[in-house]
Structure 1
Amino acid sequence: MGRKATPPALKVLAGTSRPDREVPDVPEFDLIDDFPSPPQHLNVDGAEMWNNLGPQLVAARVLQVVDLYSLEQLCFAWQCFRKKAKADMEATAAELTALKALFSEFGMTPASRRKVSSGGDKAPTNKFSGNGRPTKA
């Protein structure tokens, strides 16, 4: 299993974007503006994570419509983890790995947070974000 592909926006910001390596027609989905209520099957722990995390992801402009399914999966995995922890049971290595992977997908670990690009209209802070050409300051 190889490394995950770097999102195109991050390549531009890092100054490593190359037109010959661009993937044409990368799908873009609508950003979430009005965050929905938690799914009914989530228990107290899952719903709490949904209600705490979702609005923050919306505010950071990283949550797209299609991400709601992954967020639901994260909240469900979290509620299962919490249920076992409350019962004084150990989570399996596979469960912990899956949970960590889901956290990473949303930029919720220190290392992964650097790799998540927001959908906001921010001016690039990297003066070489123009493919190696200095940008006007």
Structure 2
Amino acid sequence: MRPLPSTNPRRRNRRQTSTLPAPGAEATWPIPAPPAHLNTEAAQLWDVLWRSPVAANWLADVDGFAVARVCAMQAEVASGDPAGAKRLAELRHLSEALGLTPVARRRLGWNTTTGPDQALAEVVLLSELEN
């Protein structure tokens, strides 16, 4: 015999979503200091990533190592590391896991908000961070 339908049906496997702060909004989450082993370029990227809207969903204790690894690998690849091509797969995987790409944010259920003057995100090259 089939059970009677619930009087209060609720989908149990519904995807949870989270709304990220608008790009350019002031960070209201703690921004940890970069690890000592990061070079200057990687430390600058660390600061940029932790001030980005996706960092609102990160935990420094849990995600800090992955963010540090992304920063170090990105700096190595940008500096012409001969093993750079081999590192790109790991870099892409970590970027997806941290929600750094639009597809990853959609998969994680992270919705972005944009202000009227922030329809497109600004692209910043690592070489411009040195200036």
Is the structural similarity TM-score above 0.5?
yes
3-state DSSP of counterpart to 2:57 = coil
Where does structure 2 lack aligned partners over 5 or more consecutive residues? 1-12, 17-27, 111-131
* 1:46 corresponding residue in structure 2: 42
Aligned structure 1 segments of 4 or more residues deviating by more than 6 angstroms: none
Counterpart of 1:41 in structure 2: which amino acid? Answer: H
Q: 2:15, 2:109 within 8 Å by CA — same for their partners in 1?
A: no
CA-to-aligned-CA distance 1:37-73 (integer Å, 9 cap, x gap): 1112111221111000112256x52111311111111
Which residue number in structure 2 is paired with residue 62 of structure 1?
Answer: 57
Does residue 106 (structure 1) correspond to residue 101 (structure 2)? The answer is no
For structure 1, the residue ranges without an aligned partner over 5 or more in a row are 1-10, 15-31, 119-137
- Paired position in structure 1 for 2:84: 91
Give the letter aligned to residue 57 of structure 2. V
**In structure 1, distance between residues paired with 2:83 and 2:71:** 18
Which TM-score applies when normalising by structure 2?
A: 0.55
What TM-score do the two structures reach when normalised by structure 1? 0.53
Shift of 1:90: 7.4
What is the alpha-carbon root mean square deviation over aligned residues? 2.5
Find the aligned partners of 1:79 and 1:12 in 2 and give their Cα distance: 39
Amino acid at match of 1:100: R
Residues in 2 aligned to 1:83 and 1:104: alpha-carbon distance in whole angstroms = 22
**Percent of aligned pairs with the same residue?**
26
Work out the number of aligned pairs and report it: 86
Amino acid at match of 2:84: A
